[in-house]
Structure 1
């Protein structure tokens, strides 16, 4: 059997070199000691001393190498040499020095005391020097590399000289990574101007940002003002984005409270930070009580809103969470996420369509949900303009079938996800969502009054067990929640703009004056959950979303936040309004008023009265028309939703007048009326 060749490691080669060096060093040390003792002149050294040294050399060499080996001076990683290695070299020097004195004095010649002292000192310097010089070379090389990097590292401007700013500053200064160097600090408090934090000057307020970015050659701006109001932060960020610097911000004040204020917690500035509206605050205690130990069904649970609903509901200890989704990939993704985060959650994931009567009825019959959040819908405006019958089938008829199943099964509450596009709709998607609201209001009235005979058996609706509804005697509450565009949701402009920017442009905007209301996904879901706590039945809840935002401004801000210049690095192209699209969206119809709720940012639209019996007959006609793919579907919808009109070609002047009226209407204050339910 052939023996495997033994490999000589690099450290063993280094140890051999050290071994040979020590043979030379330990003897040279005591020779130099004699030389120093006699005035650095070899001719003055007595021959007897020199003979004793020569005779003792072989013995002392063996003694020294044995001691050095025993103290592991040939097996240490000298690039990491430290206090332990220093102690072992010192111990080796003392031990060999003592044995040198004992051996040479006993067997050869008594030597001068200075000989032993000088010998030990020189030997220590020679043995420790060669070993620590390796680490010194590495440290020096590292120091020079850091100096070179320091010349190239980012110059940082820190905004905020409060507690959060101080924590971020010190974290930057002590971090092991080359993140950059804070050159100056900005703070709006004049009392702090001209003073220093850890040697870094506070150079002025927000109006001095641009000047100091140029003065100090700033490449990165850190915004550490978590307690600032949204409007204040928006104004500061609007100034910062004009600098072209990389922007990072501390997400929220909760990090200051928990002490979790570190550089790694800072995030890239997002477009929603520039909206300038305070995030909606909800009473999570009320929501917790509403959801705890309840069986909850979320239709469309794999979508942007539906999946976030599932995330927040999962954290409030429901008895069972049922996720109903037609697209299996989305359903699988959110299922795996919830299983990881909430292993104890009783989660049921079902595939199916709200248009399928048998399927939706079977789900309600089998699981008996207490609360339903109906998020399943077609939402893409231009696509629905090309397939209007599908919008009616999925949105209107799907909502009716879901509401019908909820009513029949004795569900406590159903919350419909609606949209501001339902107000004076100019597209079939918005009109279909207005019809969904009317279905919900009608169902609530029927539930409260027991007029089940008004419920039609729609086209493709497999059965209509009215008697079962009469027998359960449960008054289901039906409400709707209306909000604007959701930042980052599927089909929203933000992901599209980011993709276009990543591809080098152009960024496409339909019209330079088009405006929209925006909110974040967590805000939208908070509103939906809060609506459940305020619901009495029949309400349409509306979020105060602040001022509308121009899509053109949104696109330009996103380009700047990506480090480019609009119309220079990334072009903006105006493509014209798409089918069914209008320049502005409204939150309320002219006939609707506002009622306040305990949350000042959430309002209730006063229901518009209509003939429910007639409406149900119209829904029956609408269902038959959609399932036969009628070419008159838009005309039929316009006969039911009187505010629906297909978009007309109007001049920019007229549209701007409408926008101005919309802005003026926002200034009117809502009448403070207590929360009331039902359909008037």
Structure 2
């Protein structure tokens, strides 16, 4: 019988109803049980006389239906043959043992004495025939489906890898063919019927078995070790995927066989430092907590972590209706899964609306505020500078003053590394927001202000990571502004957790700086993301690669290198990844007069005056290009004719070179456009 015909028969059988499959199995067993009994008598040489005894037929007529009823009652026919395993063989063993007892009892009633050895042989043959038939059909099914499955190698032969192999055998999409493990003691052994090989054999195994994917089953391994493994796997050009972390598996948030792509966050992120629970609880547990900009990347993760610290009430303040709705649904589900009873309130509003803020804070008795609401995308704020100042500077001012007026205990400002010696409007506005909190901290003693400054977070809305993913999915090219540009990166969960702990350390006016680790070259980040996708980078040595990296010029206000500190007054704290910085500050009276001038300039749209004022403040703001605000540019004679019909989106898609000799900004079309 050809493989094609077997596959066709199996596919038809699989489409039968559960009831019909059960009937077919019972009919097969109706034949196999008598065969097992006669073979037992035949093998037992002193039982030949029983073969021709007419009473044997009567014994079988009574015992076989009773045996089938027993099999049915113990659930033997509930299992699907394609998923049969050791557990069903255990059930079959119990059923065969009971069937043997039924035959013995029936024979006694018929006046026939059966040797105990014949009954034992019957049990072994029945177990072999009934179980063997099912295992044979299962192997036929698996063999017929093999050509449709993706062959994979599992890296990691520990308990997670073993569970993964077991799960994949039932999966219609993947077929594990071998294990790879770093431990020499495992090499040559078998786990779940698959041989364990050394990492050096990977290339040969991929070619021999036609492997299309490598599954990393090391959920408990440190990120440093996972990164080493990924570096080694990069040379193979085989897509690598992973299973969820063990914490997610144990907590029930994920299953061991939920295979997903390896994210760059998995490798760039560091192994977390165990949090100080006292610091996590200090400003949150049994308190009323307000998060502004709750629907943003940082705001959303802060809300998740605040929820787990069980505040009395969690207030989500957000200007975008959809983001607020989405976040509420997620948090309600998280609370349900974690069995946390927290009142979650959704509040639409702008941080520039002080009356709305005061009303919210007073009504709910807010005790802690995490102020994440801000425009953070450097080119977007550069092109819309007035709105950036209104939201980032005066939005922070209104929120801070509302907090003081309503007696809020703690106010934590989420700042950025771009506030250090800023070359862009966004960074300057965030430094001004810090100055506001510093000044207000010394002006009053009702609200404790502190600021937490950190770099880019992986996967946030403003991060390059989502953009690179999109460009890779589209086949490239990946656009990088400069070959030497570097950035600090941190995972969103780590950043949010450190923000909460830093906020609890503040005494008033503190500027906390998170340890971001080593800066990452953006080119290397893009190259690694290409490799993780199972693709090859186009290089001079490999011109036939899949994805090309092209360079555009630095955009307005963009730096090659980011900094996290001003000055040298850096002090360590009790937390290894949180430091404090001694920053220049203005007193409130001086800052208030300055802010009045800035407010007047923004209201009258005086962009030149705005730039002058930004340079006057102790922000170390040093713009490196002409004003890039779209409204200002459109009013300039040299831009009006060429950009009269240019949309905001089109302008945003451009990159800009440094100033030309005549002082004008030269737009340069981004490669690949």
Residue in structure 2 matched with residue 503 of structure 1 by the alignment: 474
- Change in Cα spacing, 1:152 to 1:596, as seen in structure 2 (3 Å) is closer
Residue in structure 2 matched with residue 307 of structure 1 by the alignment: 300
Which structure has the larger Rg? 1
Checking the alignment, whether the CA contact within 8 Å between 2:269 and 2:490 is kept in structure 1 is no
Residue in structure 2 matched with residue 155 of structure 1 by the alignment: 153
Shift in Å, 1:503: 2.7
Checking the alignment, whether the CA contact within 8 Å between 1:437 and 1:480 is kept in structure 2 is yes
The whole-number CA distance in structure 1 between the counterparts of 2:41 and 2:519 is: 88
- Change in Cα spacing, 1:629 to 1:196, as seen in structure 2 (3 Å) is same
- Change in Cα spacing, 1:312 to 1:101, as seen in structure 2 (3 Å) is closer
The whole-number CA distance in structure 2 between the counterparts of 1:28 and 1:364 is: 85
Residue in structure 2 matched with residue 446 of structure 1 by the alignment: 443
The whole-number CA distance in structure 1 between the counterparts of 2:167 and 2:40 is: 44
The whole-number CA distance in structure 2 between the counterparts of 1:281 and 1:363 is: 34
1:226-264 Cα deviation digits (max 9, x unpaired): 465x55554443233333345466887979999x99955
**Residue among 139, 147, 156 paired with 1:143:** 139
**Residue among 578, 581, 593 paired with 2:558:** 581
Residue in structure 1 matched with residue 448 of structure 2 by the alignment: 477
- Change in Cα spacing, 1:593 to 1:99, as seen in structure 2 (3 Å) is closer
Secondary structure of the residue aligned to 1:155 is strand
User: Within the alignment, does 1:530 sit opposite 2:510 as a pair?
Assistant: no
Residue in structure 1 matched with residue 418 of structure 2 by the alignment: 421
1:1-12 maps to which residues of 2 (within 5 A)?
none
- Change in Cα spacing, 1:91 to 1:602, as seen in structure 2 (3 Å) is closer
The whole-number CA distance in structure 2 between the counterparts of 1:492 and 1:636 is: 29
The whole-number CA distance in structure 1 between the counterparts of 2:569 and 2:233 is: 40
- Could you tell me which runs of 5 or more consecutive residues in structure 1 were left unpaired when the two chains were aligned: 1-7, 39-48, 103-115, 159-164, 448-473, 652-680
The whole-number CA distance in structure 1 between the counterparts of 2:25 and 2:446 is: 87
Shift in Å, 1:306: 1.3
- Change in Cα spacing, 1:256 to 1:299, as seen in structure 2 (3 Å) is closer
User: Within the alignment, does 1:244 sit opposite 2:233 as a pair?
Assistant: no
1:92-111 maps to which residues of 2 (within 5 A)?
93-94=103-104
Residue in structure 2 matched with residue 638 of structure 1 by the alignment: 615
- Change in Cα spacing, 1:139 to 1:416, as seen in structure 2 (3 Å) is same
Residue in structure 2 matched with residue 180 of structure 1 by the alignment: 176
**Residue among 78, 92, 109 paired with 1:82:** 92
Checking the alignment, whether the CA contact within 8 Å between 1:183 and 1:216 is kept in structure 2 is no
The whole-number CA distance in structure 1 between the counterparts of 2:110 and 2:311 is: 82
1:10-25 maps to which residues of 2 (within 5 A)?
none
Secondary structure of the residue aligned to 1:348 is strand
Residue in structure 1 matched with residue 633 of structure 2 by the alignment: none
**Residue among 567, 591, 603 paired with 1:615:** 591
Checking the alignment, whether the CA contact within 8 Å between 1:15 and 1:75 is kept in structure 2 is no
User: Within the alignment, does 1:318 sit opposite 2:315 as a pair?
Assistant: no
The whole-number CA distance in structure 1 between the counterparts of 2:435 and 2:423 is: 17
Checking the alignment, whether the CA contact within 8 Å between 2:153 and 2:178 is kept in structure 1 is yes
Shift in Å, 1:298: 1.3
Secondary structure of the residue aligned to 1:554 is helix
Residue in structure 2 matched with residue 222 of structure 1 by the alignment: 216
Residue in structure 2 matched with residue 5 of structure 1 by the alignment: none
Shift in Å, 1:63: 7.4
User: Within the alignment, does 1:350 sit opposite 2:339 as a pair?
Assistant: no
The whole-number CA distance in structure 2 between the counterparts of 1:283 and 1:132 is: 59
The whole-number CA distance in structure 1 between the counterparts of 2:380 and 2:189 is: 56
Secondary structure of the residue aligned to 1:288 is helix
Residue in structure 2 matched with residue 452 of structure 1 by the alignment: none
- Change in Cα spacing, 1:630 to 1:263, as seen in structure 2 (3 Å) is same
- Change in Cα spacing, 1:95 to 1:338, as seen in structure 2 (3 Å) is closer
Shift in Å, 1:523: 2.0
**Residue among 424, 429, 435 paired with 2:432:** 435
Shift in Å, 1:392: 0.8
**Residue among 512, 515, 519 paired with 1:544:** 515
**Residue among 183, 190, 213 paired with 2:202:** 213
Secondary structure of the residue aligned to 1:237 is helix
User: Within the alignment, does 1:486 sit opposite 2:457 as a pair?
Assistant: yes
Checking the alignment, whether the CA contact within 8 Å between 2:269 and 2:491 is kept in structure 1 is no
Secondary structure of the residue aligned to 1:349 is strand
Shift in Å, 1:398: 0.5
> TM-score by structure 2 length?
0.71
The whole-number CA distance in structure 2 between the counterparts of 1:425 and 1:338 is: 35
Secondary structure of the residue aligned to 1:573 is strand
User: Within the alignment, does 1:376 sit opposite 2:366 as a pair?
Assistant: no
The whole-number CA distance in structure 2 between the counterparts of 1:650 and 1:31 is: 97
The whole-number CA distance in structure 2 between the counterparts of 1:367 and 1:415 is: 18
Checking the alignment, whether the CA contact within 8 Å between 2:168 and 2:257 is kept in structure 1 is no
The whole-number CA distance in structure 2 between the counterparts of 1:597 and 1:134 is: 69
The whole-number CA distance in structure 2 between the counterparts of 1:231 and 1:10 is: 51
The whole-number CA distance in structure 2 between the counterparts of 1:293 and 1:31 is: 78
Residue in structure 1 matched with residue 639 of structure 2 by the alignment: none
The whole-number CA distance in structure 2 between the counterparts of 1:436 and 1:266 is: 43
The whole-number CA distance in structure 2 between the counterparts of 1:31 and 1:252 is: 57
Shift in Å, 1:14: 8.1
User: Within the alignment, does 1:569 sit opposite 2:546 as a pair?
Assistant: yes
Residue in structure 2 matched with residue 673 of structure 1 by the alignment: none
Checking the alignment, whether the CA contact within 8 Å between 2:71 and 2:92 is kept in structure 1 is no
Residue in structure 1 matched with residue 576 of structure 2 by the alignment: 600
Checking the alignment, whether the CA contact within 8 Å between 1:172 and 1:180 is kept in structure 2 is no
Residue in structure 2 matched with residue 359 of structure 1 by the alignment: 356
Question: What number of residue pairs does the alignment pair up?
Answer: 569
The whole-number CA distance in structure 1 between the counterparts of 2:30 and 2:163 is: 45
Secondary structure of the residue aligned to 1:647 is coil
Checking the alignment, whether the CA contact within 8 Å between 2:437 and 2:450 is kept in structure 1 is yes
- Could you tell me which runs of 5 or more consecutive residues in structure 2 were left unpaired when the two chains were aligned: 1-18, 82-87, 539-544, 626-656, 660-673
Checking the alignment, whether the CA contact within 8 Å between 1:406 and 1:414 is kept in structure 2 is yes
The whole-number CA distance in structure 2 between the counterparts of 1:538 and 1:24 is: 88
1:575-634 Cα deviation digits (max 9, x unpaired): 332232221211123x45212211232221112144643332121121122233334333
The whole-number CA distance in structure 2 between the counterparts of 1:498 and 1:136 is: 49
